[in-house]
Chains A and B, each alone.
Chain A
Amino acid sequence: MLRYLARRLLLLVPVILGAALIAFALLLLIPGDPAIALLGQEVSGPELARFRHILGLDRPIPVQFGLYVWRIVQGDFGRSITLHAPVLRLIRSTLPATLELAIASLLLSISVGIPLGLLAARRRGGVLDTGTMLLAQLGVSMPVFWLGVLLILLFAVKLDWLPSFGRGPALLGAVASGNLANVLDSLQHLILPAFTLAAFNLALLTRLTRWALLEVLEEDYVRTARAKGQTERAVIYRHALRNALLPIITIIGLQFGNALGGAIVTETIYGWPGMGRLVVQAIGQRDFPVVQGAVLILALLFSLVNVAVDLAYGLADPRIRYE
């Protein structure tokens, strides 16, 4: 198990390097120049050339990449071209907000999606099942930006129950300090963006749980369990659900990655100060160091989640062994 973990973690190195290379290459492929983003429309030809030289953009591409990797290895992510600040500081100041949003949305989709799916599976064909599946269909097909605006107009403008934008105090910090007002403020700001980001995943998870459970309920061992006279409750929770969990865990792992990436739209709509917006802005302005740094961090996070998912399989199913 430990050897497996060590090997998986070691394998992260080429994955991250690959991600760095791809991020680097893609930025070179798209037209546009960070020098222009920096100078705006006030730019002139000779000035542009001078800036490119200062930024090192006139060097051969392999040299640029080599220097970049060399700096990363030393822990130097460089400075943002347009934001005049170290990249690591920018990431450190925005990543917690994105993680808070992504984790909240994931918890929301798990804690609502799985029970709803279970319920639908148990009442298969009933009114509850049909209703849940209709809602789930709506959830997977509704565009995030539209849902977001709709929720703001309803809950912030019409009902005036929740704030229309922004993030409250950091939730973890608020909980740790035990300040109830701060916790409440934080949750009030969090609920709409977390739900908006969760809507798609929640719907997907509901449908998946229902399908996986129905599949397992057809298995012989479930019939055996029923024949032994176990209660329906025990059959579902002790026998069926555990097996149905495997595809669900896979999807949850992927969803966390999606939540990190999908947070970009949600963050923009709600003015949530996360890393998604930082990256989108940086791409728009060709701020290479920020994009590259952020891609590295996201790739690392995503890979770590994948390792965690693989380990979780073992918890759900004792037959899985790590060699």
Chain B
Amino acid sequence: MIAPVRRIAVVMLFVFALASTMPVRAAPAGGTLRIGIDVDAGTLDPRLANDTTARRVIEQVYDGLVELDAQLQPRPALAESWTQVSPTVWVFKLRKNVRFHDGTPLTADDVVFTYQTILDPGLRAPLRGLVTPISKIEAVDPETVRFTLSAPYAPLLKYVDGSQAGGIVSRRAVERLGAEYASNPVGTGAYKFVSWQRNSRILLEANPTSWRGRPSLNQIIFNIIPDNTTRAAAVESGDVDLIHSPLSPQDVRRLRTVSRVSVTQMTGLGHTYLNINQSDPILRDLRVRRALAHLIPQATIVRQIYQEMDRPANSILLPAWSGIYTEDITQPGHDIARAKALLAEAGWTDSNRDGILDRGGQNLALVVRTHSEDPNRIQVVELLISILRSSGIDARAEITEFPALVGALIAGTHQVALLGWLGLVDPDRGMYNQFHSKGSQNWERYTNPRVDALLDEGRQKADPQERARIYREVARIITADLPYYILTYQGYIVVVNRRVQGFVPIPSGSFRSLWQTSVP
């Protein structure tokens, strides 16, 4: 038996030892962060997530094998290292002693299970298409996973990021909870799931045993506030600490004058574009597509409608793709005279003097579609319609809800549609499925053997210079052929209360830096 004094001394020593190992940063452990977000999550199962809120929550609760930094370069996450054994074989070495929130250890088996279920069509994983080149995935030992690909696939590392397709789920929890796993997520992330009130809030708390170390915040509350203006008012009045895009330009202008908050604006990972159907009898003619591009008052739209929140786009290449983006590739500029000349060249003239261009007894009629959820896009379409009309085109707008618009695009019944892409972490993500003749989202029915060959080559080349050459050439061809006209590079805006410390906005919209954010 130990004497009382000695017992106290031992305890004291233990406490000191413990205190000295604690990181200094964790000292002012801190507080609750209240986030205002626009939509409720559909599911918190990372394999099924299909909305931005779900991804923002999931990247706190889960980790991927890797994670992308602000420059979109992969950093170790659950995988502490990886090697490409051959062009089609990747081996990931898992971090040791990582535990899920329910206390069970992470093993290679969980990684294999995650990817096998994503690849299983029965699960209905929305981002399944990103990982279909994986032909085999196996656990070499409890800490090693091997991916075998059907062909070389350069963007693989970008897609196994936790906020893309790759949050690793706990096999045991999924099998235990079944369908309920979607609302009771169990991951390895810096924050643990606590509760979810539909359409109201999602509550997370710090995971003190996270492999990253103890996060600075005690709690994160995601408040679901669908109205853009209310969300802006909530951060202005201090009811929430952080909001981000989508925001309306008018609210952003007001928030810039509020001393309590700071507004950060950057170019995001998305663009807004016109999808131009190549199989349409009128738009099949390149001269008509070029005329259409010349008629678009891009600068006016960015200034008046987006109030400079978005930037005018040069090409399909995003500024965030460093090493690949270049300002040298540009689309046809605003030039009404040139547009009219092109239309005349294509045989469209006002032969019957009714104010509408015609050819062979047929009027030049165009329907421009967009979806009703985005008021800015509706305004753009209305402006376009009035400009097309004043240039003698019988133009009409068709505004429907998003599922109806995408339905028409898949069926190929559209002529011109205004919509956007988000989360383009890699040129492959922004071009392959969109422009490859076998691409799953080639709604504009674009076929160009040269583009197909380049896009296939881009997937196989890991060398950055080679990739730059390939994707710049694709961008040049797209600019000339105009299956897409890229209207704007979408801006990304974050409004943060000045009390919040350590939050680093990332163009992808990721809240990854929340594990080191604090609210004293």
How many Å lie between the Cα of A295 and that of B402 in the bound state?
22
How many Å lie between the Cα of A281 and that of B224 in the bound state?
13
Please determine whether A41 and B406 come into contact, CB atoms closer than 8 angstroms. yes
Residue from the list A40, A94, A286 in contact with B199, Cβ < 8 A: A94
Please determine whether B124 and A51 come into contact, CB atoms closer than 8 angstroms. yes
A304 interfacial contact with B, CB 8 Å = no
What B residues does A167 contact at CB under 8 A? 200
What B residues does A148 contact at CB under 8 A? 230
Please determine whether B179 and A84 come into contact, CB atoms closer than 8 angstroms. yes
- The interface size of chain A toward B, counting residues with CB under 8 Å, comes to 53
B310 interfacial contact with A, CB 8 Å = no
Residue from the list A43, A84, A163, A164 in contact with B45, Cβ < 8 A: A84
- The interface size of chain B toward A, counting residues with CB under 8 Å, comes to 53
Please determine whether A156 and B233 come into contact, CB atoms closer than 8 angstroms. yes
How many Å lie between the Cα of A31 and that of B48 in the bound state?
24
What B residues does A43 contact at CB under 8 A? 406, 410, 440-441
Which residues of A from 268 to 285 have beta carbons under 8 Å from B?
A: 268-271, 273-274, 277-278, 281, 284-285
Given A42-B129, A50-B121, A164-B233, do A30 and B223 touch, yes or no (CB 8 Å)? no
Chain B, 412-429, contact with A by CB distance < 8 Å: what is the 0/1 string?
Answer: 000000010100000000
Please determine whether A39 and B182 come into contact, CB atoms closer than 8 angstroms. no
Chain A, 137-181, contact with B by CB distance < 8 Å: what is the 0/1 string?
Answer: 000000000001100110011001001111100000000000000
Please determine whether A32 and B182 come into contact, CB atoms closer than 8 angstroms. no
Interface majority SS (helix, strand, loop, mixed), chain A = helix
Please determine whether B224 and A271 come into contact, CB atoms closer than 8 angstroms. yes
Chain A, 12-55, contact with B by CB distance < 8 Å: what is the 0/1 string?
Answer: 00000000000000000011111011111111110110110010
B43 interfacial contact with A, CB 8 Å = yes
What B residues does A38 contact at CB under 8 A? 50, 124, 126
What A residues does B179 contact at CB under 8 A? 79, 84
Please determine whether B223 and A85 come into contact, CB atoms closer than 8 angstroms. no
A230 interfacial contact with B, CB 8 Å = no
Given A32-B404, A36-B407, A269-B227, do A41 and B441 touch, yes or no (CB 8 Å)? yes
Given A32-B400, A33-B403, A268-B227, do A274 and B236 touch, yes or no (CB 8 Å)? no
Residue from the list B230, B238, B403, B440 in contact with A47, Cβ < 8 A: B440
Please determine whether B237 and A83 come into contact, CB atoms closer than 8 angstroms. no
How many Å lie between the Cα of A239 and that of B241 in the bound state?
57
Please determine whether A271 and B226 come into contact, CB atoms closer than 8 angstroms. yes
Please determine whether A278 and B402 come into contact, CB atoms closer than 8 angstroms. no
B69 interfacial contact with A, CB 8 Å = no
| Chain A: CB-nearest residue to B405 | A32
Best-buried of B48, B199, B200, B236 by chain A (most CB within 10 Å): B199
B455 interfacial contact with A, CB 8 Å = no
What A residues does B199 contact at CB under 8 A? 94, 273-274, 277-278
B234 interfacial contact with A, CB 8 Å = yes
What B residues does A164 contact at CB under 8 A? 230, 233-234, 237, 239
B198 interfacial contact with A, CB 8 Å = yes
What B residues does A273 contact at CB under 8 A? 197-200, 224
How many Å lie between the Cα of A269 and that of B231 in the bound state?
9
Give the Cβ gap from B182 to chain A, nearest Cβ, in Å: 4
A309 interfacial contact with B, CB 8 Å = no
Please determine whether B403 and A84 come into contact, CB atoms closer than 8 angstroms. no
Please determine whether A39 and B124 come into contact, CB atoms closer than 8 angstroms. yes
B201 interfacial contact with A, CB 8 Å = yes
What A residues does B198 contact at CB under 8 A? 83, 85, 90, 93-94, 273, 278
Give the Cβ gap from B207 to chain A, nearest Cβ, in Å: 24
Best-buried of B36, B227, B403 by chain A (most CB within 10 Å): B403
Give the Cβ gap from B161 to chain A, nearest Cβ, in Å: 16
Residue from the list B200, B407, B433 in contact with A33, Cβ < 8 A: B407
How many Å lie between the Cα of A37 and that of B39 in the bound state?
14
| Chain B: CB-nearest residue to A167 | B200
Residue from the list A30, A94, A149 in contact with B230, Cβ < 8 A: A149
What A residues does B39 contact at CB under 8 A? 281
Which residues of A from 251 to 268 have beta carbons under 8 Å from B?
A: 268
A82 interfacial contact with B, CB 8 Å = yes
Give the Cβ gap from B334 to chain A, nearest Cβ, in Å: 28
B102 interfacial contact with A, CB 8 Å = no
Please determine whether A42 and B230 come into contact, CB atoms closer than 8 angstroms. no
Give the Cβ gap from B248 to chain A, nearest Cβ, in Å: 11
Could you give 23 example pairs across A and B, Cβ below 8 Å? A32-B401, A32-B404, A32-B407, A34-B403, A37-B402, A40-B126, A41-B419, A43-B440, A93-B198, A94-B198, A149-B229, A149-B230, A152-B229, A153-B233, A156-B237, A164-B230, A164-B233, A164-B239, A165-B239, A166-B200, A271-B230, A273-B199, A285-B403
List residues of B whose CB falls within 8 A of some A CB: 36, 39-40, 42-43, 45, 48, 50-51, 121-122, 124, 126-129, 179, 182-183, 197-201, 223-227, 229-231, 233-234, 236-239, 373, 400-404, 406-408, 410, 419, 421, 433, 440-441
List residues of A whose CB falls within 8 A of some B CB: 30-34, 36-45, 47-48, 50-51, 54, 79, 82-85, 90, 93-94, 97, 148-149, 152-153, 156-157, 160, 163-167, 268-271, 273-274, 277-278, 281, 284-286
* A-B contact sample (13 more), CB < 8 A, given A82-B42, A277-B199: A38-B50, A41-B421, A42-B50, A44-B440, A45-B440, A149-B227, A156-B234, A163-B239, A164-B239, A165-B36, A165-B239, A271-B226, A285-B403
